[in-house]
């Protein structure tokens, strides 16, 4: 019994480690390796101690531990909450899809293996390792999309909506998993779970696309407003230049007329006085 429990803890620890690694990727690798190891250790100890009493509510505990570690490393509240929840949802999604594929295609199910060394090893190789690889690749794809500058700005501005969406999806997913183990639950309904989880994932993607589209339209409107403001400023400056040119033309005509008069009169003294009092200050003004 003790040996079987140890093997189950090993398998559970590896699964928690995978969730922590993928969450860290989604959070732009905010956690260090030792942070991931320590968080996994705490999640394993807590999961082992409390699972029998709280059962599937342990998911909240694991997500909470990762969120606390990410916030401790100065991540924002949005990404600290969203990254663990998204990692959890991706793991559940891939788990059900791969289990369904392996079960239907190869006739192999996780329940077929006991808690012996060989059984746990096969479970890790056949199920947990492929689940981690697929989830890891999905996490990389989400990271690539999430950390585009436009997407980062949009998520920051719509943090409440994104967090609420992830929270609602996590709650619905938890209730579905919990209902599966209730007495009298129709087992054939569990066959549609992969379709449901894929639907949830697509809904999240669609919502992100809608938010992204709205954000892009806002950016376009803001850009147009800036361009209109620049155009108005440019128009005002042109008008000011036109007024200045008219004034300069008027002054230039007066200057020529005055010089012409003084030259015709041959009044050298008035010409020098005009030059000192009018021409020189005008020259300094333009310089």
- The reported pLDDT for the residue numbered 7 is 67
Separation of alpha carbons 211 and 215, rounded Å: 6
The low-confidence residues of the chain, meaning pLDDT below 70, are 1-8, 50-57, 106, 108-117, 148-159, 185, 187, 190, 212, 215, 244, 247-268, 270-272, 274-287
Separation of alpha carbons 80 and 71, rounded Å: 6
- The reported pLDDT for the residue numbered 77 is 80
- The reported pLDDT for the residue numbered 165 is 76
Q: How many CA atoms lie within 13 A of 153 on its CB side?
A: 10
Separation of alpha carbons 44 and 15, rounded Å: 10
Q: What is the DSSP string of 37-60?
A: HHHHHHHHHHHHHHHHHHGGGHHH
Q: At residue 53, what are phi and psi to the nearest 5 degrees?
A: -90, -40
SS3 (DSSP) at 96: helix
Cα 53 to its chain centre, rounded Å, is: 35
Taking alpha carbons only, the member of 38, 47, 45 closest to residue 69 is: 38
Round to the nearest angstrom and report the end-to-end CA distance of the chain.
96
Distances in Å between the Cα of 20 and the Cα atoms of 137, 164, 253 are: 14, 21, 81
SS3 (DSSP) at 159: helix
- The reported pLDDT for the residue numbered 113 is 60
**Do 249 and 272 contact (CB within 8 A), yes or no?**
no
Return the domain boundaries, the chain.
2-185, 240-286
Stated pTM of the model: 0.65
Residues 6+ apart with CB under 8 A from 134: 94, 98
**Do 147 and 28 contact (CB within 8 A), yes or no?**
yes
Tokens of 165: 């969406």
**Do 136 and 22 contact (CB within 8 A), yes or no?**
yes
Q: What is the DSSP string of 212-258?
A: HHHHHHHHHHHHHHHHHHHHHHHHHHHHHHHHHHHHHHHHHHHHHHH
Separation of alpha carbons 247 and 191, rounded Å: 85
């Amino acid at each position: 019994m003790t040996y079987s429990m140890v093997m189950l803890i090993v398998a559970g620890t590896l699964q928690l480690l995978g969730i922590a690694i993928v969450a860290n990727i989604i959070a732009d690798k905010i956690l260090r390796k030792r942070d991931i190891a320590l968080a996994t250790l705490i999640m394993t100890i807590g999961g082992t101690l409390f699972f029998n009493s709280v059962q599937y509510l342990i998911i909240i505990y694991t997500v909470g531990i990762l969120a606390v570690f990410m916030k401790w490393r100065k991540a924002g509240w949005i990404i600290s909450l969203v990254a663990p929840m998204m990692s959890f949802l991706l793991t559940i999604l891939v788990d059900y899809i791969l289990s369904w594929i392996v079960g239907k295609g190869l006739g192999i199910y996780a329940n077929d293996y006991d808690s012996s060394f060989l059984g746990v090893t096969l479970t890790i190789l056949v199920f947990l390792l492929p689940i981690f690889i697929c989830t890891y690749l999905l996490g990389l794809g989400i990271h690539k999309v999430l950390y585009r500058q436009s997407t980062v700005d949009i998520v920051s501005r719509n943090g409440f909506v994104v967090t609420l969406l992830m929270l609602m999806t996590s709650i619905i997913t938890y209730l579905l998993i919990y209902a599966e183990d209730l007495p009298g639950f129709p087992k054939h309904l569990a066959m549609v779970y992969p379709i449901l989880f894929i639907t949830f994932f697509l809904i999240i993607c669609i919502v992100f696309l809608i938010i992204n589209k709205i954000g892009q339209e806002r950016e376009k409107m803001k850009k147009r407003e800036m361009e209109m403001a620049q155009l108005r400023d440019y128009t005002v400056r042109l008008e000011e230049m036109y007024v200045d040119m008219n004034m300069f033309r008027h002054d230039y005509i007066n200057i020529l007329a005055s010089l012409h008069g003084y030259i015709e009169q041959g009044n050298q003294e008035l010409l020098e006085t005009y030059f000192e009092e009018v021409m020189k200050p005008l020259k300094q003004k333009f310089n």
